């Protein structure tokens, strides 16, 4: 029997979750089958993160993600997850040049990939962009704290808001983002104390990514929590699987079956109609 489709998750659902203190669940996804799995599991939100540049394409940072790469993968995720709240991640330089370009690119996520919202990384310097996108009826989540697109400016991937001055700066910036029209906030690699003050002093859903237990919801990169990422993980990631090891074991078993001629076996072959095989003969060689 087909599973009854749940109601669409909207911004109103997320606000209601916050109000009734029900954690908002969120993961990244970058393809159709993964989106289907997350949707079937009942996830609230899916972020098609520009982390795809690293975990899917193998780049060393997120700066290599482009609009032309992000749009089709985001549309694929939407096809797999029709009712989840879908966030498209605005890639590096897609919203920095001017507001016209920001609106056009954000609009592509909404119209071509059928997103519910876009996410932009930024600090107080992007409030005009938030205002312009909001005026263009595009819901915007602002990604604050550790901003991977600013890795070169920051001199590495570092937790933010660890002293009172920088913690307070985040708190003040969060208010400015809300005033500019942001519909939600994402805090990456921020200690629980400033994250708590931000989450408790706004009606906006505040999603943490390494920002402690007081946020309204949490997100991590899917490949990290599945154990698909090679190498060390950020401190805040909890692993829920060993998918890399399982895939490696399956690939090794496939190779071994082939080398030892266990695959393909009779059950993997199409049968000719009775008596037909006897009528076959080798084709004559053509003259060189």
Residue in 72, 76, 16 with CA at minimum distance from that of residue 46: 76
Report in angstroms how near the CB of residue 61 gets to ligand KIV at its nearest: 11
Give the closest residue to 187 by CA, choosing from 115, 117, 109, 122: 122
Within 13 A of 120's CA, how many CA atoms are on the CB side? 30
**Selection from 90, 85, 165 nearest residue 122 by Cα:** 90
- ∠ CA(264), CA(268), CA(269), 5° rounding? 100
Told to judge if 188 belongs to the known catalytic residues of this protein, a careful annotator would answer: yes
Q: Quick one: which of 71, 110, 113, 221 contacts ligand KIV (CB under 6 A)?
A: 221
The site map against ligand KIV for 68-107 (x = CB under 6 A) is ---------------------x------------------
Closest CB to ligand KIV among residues 17, 143: 143
Q: Of 17, 27, 28, 223, which one interacts with ligand KIV (CB under 6 A)?
A: 28
Contact between residue 88 and residue 48 where contact means Cβ atoms under 8 Å apart:
yes
- Regarding 219 and contact with ligand KIV (CB under 6 A), the answer is yes
Name which of 89 and 116 has its Cβ closer to ligand KIV.
89
Residue with tokens 């989540």: 141
Write down the residue that tokens 């805040």 correspond to: 236
- The region of 5-13, 14-22, 45-53, 157-165 touching ligand KIV under the rule CB under 6 A is 45-53
In whole angstroms, give the CA distance from residue 260 to residue 173. 63
129 binds ligand KIV (CB under 6 A): no
Contact 86, 111 (CB under 8 A): no
Interface residue with ligand KIV, options 38, 50, 173, 178 (CB under 6 A): 50
In this structure, what DSSP letter does residue 125 have? Answer: G
CB 151 within 8 A of CB 59: no
Active-site option among 38, 173, 178, 188: 188
Q: Which is nearer to ligand KIV, 170 or 269 (CB)?
A: 170
Residue 209 touching ligand KIV (CB under 6 A):
yes
Min dist CB 233 to ligand KIV, Å, is 12
Q: Which residues are catalytic?
A: 188
Binding site for ligand KIV (CB under 6 A): 28, 47, 49-51, 62, 89, 143, 186, 188, 209, 219, 221
């Amino acid at each position: 029997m087909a599973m009854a489709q749940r109601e669409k998750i909207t911004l109103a659902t997320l606000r209601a979750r916050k109000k009734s203190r029900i954690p908002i669940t969120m993961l990244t996804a970058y393809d159709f089958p993964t989106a289907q799995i997350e949707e079937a599991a009942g996830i609230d939100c899916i972020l098609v993160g520009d982390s795809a540049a690293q975990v899917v394409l193998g780049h060393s940072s997120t700066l290599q993600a482009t609009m032309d790469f992000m749009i089709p993968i985001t549309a694929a995720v939407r096809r797999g997850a029709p009712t989840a709240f879908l966030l498209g991640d605005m890639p590096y330089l897609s919203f920095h040049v001017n507001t016209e370009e920001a609106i056009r690119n954000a609009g592509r996520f909404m119209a071509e990939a059928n997103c519910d919202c876009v996410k932009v990384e930024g600090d107080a310097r992007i409030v005009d962009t938030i205002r312009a996108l909001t005026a263009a009826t595009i819901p915007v989540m602002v990604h604050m704290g550790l901003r991977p697109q600013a890795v070169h400016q920051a001199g590495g991937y570092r937790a933010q808001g660890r002293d009172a001055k920088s913690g307070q700066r985040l708190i003040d910036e969060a208010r400015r983002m809300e005033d500019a029209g942001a519909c939600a906030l994402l805090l990456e690699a921020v200690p629980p104390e400033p994250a708590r003050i931000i989450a408790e002093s706004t009606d906006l859903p505040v999603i943490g990514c390494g920002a402690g237990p007081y946020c309204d919801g949490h997100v991590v990169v899917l490949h990290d929590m599945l154990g698909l990422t090679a190498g060390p993980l950020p401190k805040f990631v909890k692993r829920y699987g060993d998918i890399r090891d399982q895939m490696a074991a399956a690939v090794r078993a496939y190779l071994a079956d082939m080398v030892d001629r266990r695959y393909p076996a009779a059950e993997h072959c199409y049968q000719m109609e009775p008596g037909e095989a006897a009528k076959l003969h080798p084709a004559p060689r053509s003259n060189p």
